[in-house]
Structure 1
Amino acid sequence: MAFEYSQEIINDLEKLFEAEEEYNVIIYSGENNNIKEFHAHSILLRIRSQYFRSAFSKERSEKKDGKHVFNFPNISPQFFKIILRFIYCGKIDLSKLQGPDILKLLIAVDELKIQTLILCIQEYLIKHQHEFLQQNPLEILETVYQRETFTNLWNYYLEEICAKPDTLFKSDKFTNLKAPLLELLLKRDDLSLDEIDIWDSLIKWSYAQHPSIQQDVKKWNKEEITVMERTLHKFIPLIRFYHVDSEGFFLKVYPFKILIPEDILDNVLAFHMAP
């Protein structure tokens, strides 16, 4: 007969976390006037965190009186205590945190490479912080894009933006979107936005990258043409010009013909002029 006392083990580890007995690791988190010292056990840190596993194996930590010393100035004491409790006993309560703090906590967890908690926090944000995620789509999207492990949030945002593109494309902050992100979005086949609206947004975005360029394309000099060509050359092939009606093409796209490669322009013109 098999017996299991996993909860008892969890309770004992939580007591060890709170008692801080026989520790061999000192951790300082926070900066300036908000710094706190934590005590921990290397064996648990090594088992539960890829960051610490790598740090201990490569002996990257300082040593003080025989104890390992780590500094995390970019992780607040509040967040580090939450993370450390999870490392010891697998417990975490996100319900008392607001959306922005949960995102900051997720970034801290990513730094420490605790995969289980990374997945857990992403799932919580998607299920319980939908309103927060919709309030600042651009800022959060760029944060998520920079983190390879935020796969669930990344997929969530792509699906949301493709289903409701106005939340981003009609946003005042759309022109702040980084070029690689814009390229990824324009490559999507499920972006629910009329092609002419995509074109208008792209032109608006390109002007915002170079505010000194004249708004009237007919007045561009050679230097301005070169700048805009370099800005848009990756995006032009992603526009489905055949999905733009003739009126929209000749009124909004054709004036920028100088930016469109000749082969694309010739084919689209032939398409729209065909009887």
Structure 2
Amino acid sequence: MSYEYYQEVIIDLEKLFTTEIGYDVIIFAGENKNTEELHAHSNILSTRSQYFCTAFSNELAEKKNGKFIFKKPNVSPELFKIILRFIYCGKIDFIKLQCPEILKLLAIVDELGIQSLISCIQEYLIKHHDEFLQQNPIEILETVYQHESFEQLWNHCLEKICEDPRILFNSEKFINLKSSLLELLLKRDDLYLEEIIIWDGLLKWGVAQNPSISKDEDITKLKKDDITIMKKTLHKFIPLIRFYHISSEDFLDKVYPLKDLLPEDLLDGLLKFHIASSRKSNVNDIQRPRKLKCNYDSILIENQHFANFANWIDKKDSLLYNIKNNPYNFNLLYRASRDGYTPEAFHSKCDNKGATIVVAKISDSDQIIGGYNSLQWDSSDQNRSTFDSFIFLYTDRKNAKLSYSNGDQFSIRNIALNGPTFGGGNDLYCDSNGTWRSNGSCSYPKIDGMRKGIINVNDYEVFQVILKRKDENIQVQKINQDLNLKNNNIIVGKTKSDKIKNNEDKLVKRRSFKLFKTLFNEKKKQQ
């Protein structure tokens, strides 16, 4: 039989730390008037710290009167005492420390090679000081970037910045960001910010790196010498900007005046792209867009789609919810490519699971179709009435058209031999062979652009919709949807759709004409 007395050992080691009996190490922590002499034991230090282990084993430590001497002017006595207490008895208390002090502590612990404490401090910062991390992105990034062992904190900071890059790009200290960090951020596919704002930020950063360029001068009217300087400063960043995802209007107003910063082949491609509207349909094939990593288990859609679903479910025309305050969890129940395309596979996974959202990806396009069942699926061959269900069509990754049920008795059809079926005329459904079809409008008002007949689908998914618990739900507020929602046209009804489409067509024509005129005049000057 064996016995363990861990707590007793810890208590005795803490006594040793306090009494300093038999110490053979002297540490001078701090500098000037804030210097303090601390005492410790070499055998304990070398066991718990890689730094001290190396120093003692290689005889690197200074020795005087039989005692090892260490000088640590970069570490305050208070912080070193905290570290020593952890080394001796595994205890640490962050309560009295401010976040900047904890970051300093983390850097010191990394230097001393105390791995368990490195992980502990990172976890504490992420859990208890997330707000500080977001309010001071530059300082945090640069501190963490210098230490490879801060991987947990590094990934967390990058994730937060990519979710809301404005905390970085709107910071007054953004212009002080190191070149290597800026390059790393611009390479990321999940830097979720409009490309024109990224371009504006890069220009602002570039000007700040060159004191000879006036900060008050209109950036689009730089002198020839300034353009040469900026071209040298920004040359490695230009390929990282997703220019093809900048609107024609912004390209004309904010990019083209600085065309000399761009390589000729890139500029030529962009001009052709903005003049020929047919090229814009395959923009994602030309250059991959930035998009946030999806918080949900989907291979078809992104975070913003789920935020839109929440708005539609709650019938919020004002787009109350975004990717951060979504009040619903969406749990994947079924994926056709994984679970099988048969009605049996669908019903076995999705029956009697409550409200669900169905999402299907149309082949060879960015279009998404689907519907929301506010009740539940089952195999009863019974029909159900509801005003809350809807079907939808995403004409591309951003713009959607939506149609709510008219409330008739066929709003939701639970047909055992079919997959999900919406509407009395089978307005949108997956048939017994796993083929998606639409027979037109019956229970749901017509959606312009929704194909009749067979709809070729790559894959489809079904998500269970569950309202979050109060303790995990974020307080919902009406906030400005400036992350991307301002570009998302959520259209309900034909009249509104036609009106918006006509306005968009006129705007595109005006922009194209303006751009063409500018380019024509430019070429005329060169002749």
Give your verdict on TM over 0.5.
yes
Q: How does 1:1-275 map to 2 (within 5 A)?
A: 1-214=1-214, 215-216=217-218, 217-222=220-225, 224-275=226-277
- Look up the equivalent residue of 1:269 and give its one-letter code: L
The structure having more radius of gyration, on CA atoms, is 2
Residues 100-109 or 13-22, more deviating: 100-109
How far, CA to CA, are the matches of 2:183 and 2:239 in structure 1? 11
Are the counterparts in 1 of residues 163 and 191 from structure 2 also a CA contact under 8 Å?
yes
- Look up the equivalent residue of 1:220 and give its one-letter code: K
1:148 is displaced (CA, Å) by 1.7
1:134 is displaced (CA, Å) by 2.4
How far, CA to CA, are the matches of 1:33 and 1:218 in structure 2? 54
- Look up the equivalent residue of 1:29 and give its one-letter code: A
How far, CA to CA, are the matches of 2:137 and 2:156 in structure 1? 11
Give CA deviations for 1:45-70 in whole Å, capped at 9, x if unaligned: 11111111111122111111111110
Give CA deviations for 1:59-114 in whole Å, capped at 9, x if unaligned: 11111111111010111110011000100111111122121221121122122121
Are the counterparts in 2 of residues 55 and 61 from structure 1 also a CA contact under 8 Å?
yes
How far, CA to CA, are the matches of 2:235 and 2:210 in structure 1? 15
Are the counterparts in 1 of residues 61 and 70 from structure 2 also a CA contact under 8 Å?
yes
Are the counterparts in 1 of residues 161 and 191 from structure 2 also a CA contact under 8 Å?
yes
Residues 62-71 or 147-156, more deviating: 147-156
1:204 is displaced (CA, Å) by 1.1
**TM-score, normalised to structure 1's length?**
0.95
1:183 is displaced (CA, Å) by 0.8
- Look up the equivalent residue of 2:94 and give its one-letter code: L
How far, CA to CA, are the matches of 1:107 and 1:153 in structure 2? 12
Give CA deviations for 1:126-175 in whole Å, capped at 9, x if unaligned: 10112222232211221111222211111111011111111110112211
SS at match of 1:188: coil
Are the counterparts in 1 of residues 135 and 167 from structure 2 also a CA contact under 8 Å?
no
How far, CA to CA, are the matches of 2:135 and 2:99 in structure 1? 10
How far, CA to CA, are the matches of 2:255 and 2:71 in structure 1? 55
How far, CA to CA, are the matches of 1:134 and 1:273 in structure 2? 41
Identify the structure with the greater strand proportion. 2
1:246 is displaced (CA, Å) by 1.1
SS at match of 1:173: helix
1:255 is displaced (CA, Å) by 1.0
1:218 is displaced (CA, Å) by 4.6
1:239 is displaced (CA, Å) by 0.6
How far, CA to CA, are the matches of 1:209 and 1:151 in structure 2? 29
How far, CA to CA, are the matches of 2:52 and 2:88 in structure 1? 14
How far, CA to CA, are the matches of 1:38 and 1:173 in structure 2? 38
SS at match of 1:7: helix
Give CA deviations for 1:171-192 in whole Å, capped at 9, x if unaligned: 1221111111111111111111
1:219 is displaced (CA, Å) by 4.9
How far, CA to CA, are the matches of 2:152 and 2:24 in structure 1? 36
- Look up the equivalent residue of 2:260 and give its one-letter code: I
How far, CA to CA, are the matches of 1:186 and 1:206 in structure 2? 14
* Count of residue correspondences: 274
- Look up the equivalent residue of 2:227 and give its one-letter code: I
Are the counterparts in 2 of residues 126 and 156 from structure 1 also a CA contact under 8 Å?
yes
How far, CA to CA, are the matches of 2:222 and 2:179 in structure 1? 25
1:221 is displaced (CA, Å) by 2.9
How far, CA to CA, are the matches of 1:42 and 1:66 in structure 2? 12
Identity of aligned residues (%): 66
**TM-score, normalised to structure 2's length?**
0.51
How far, CA to CA, are the matches of 1:51 and 1:268 in structure 2? 55
How far, CA to CA, are the matches of 1:55 and 1:15 in structure 2? 25
Give CA deviations for 1:215-254 in whole Å, capped at 9, x if unaligned: 35555234x3332111101110001111111111111111
How far, CA to CA, are the matches of 2:177 and 2:98 in structure 1? 25
Identify the structure with the greater helix proportion. 1
Are the counterparts in 1 of residues 24 and 68 from structure 2 also a CA contact under 8 Å?
yes
- Look up the equivalent residue of 1:227 and give its one-letter code: I
SS at match of 1:56: helix
Are the counterparts in 2 of residues 213 and 220 from structure 1 also a CA contact under 8 Å?
no
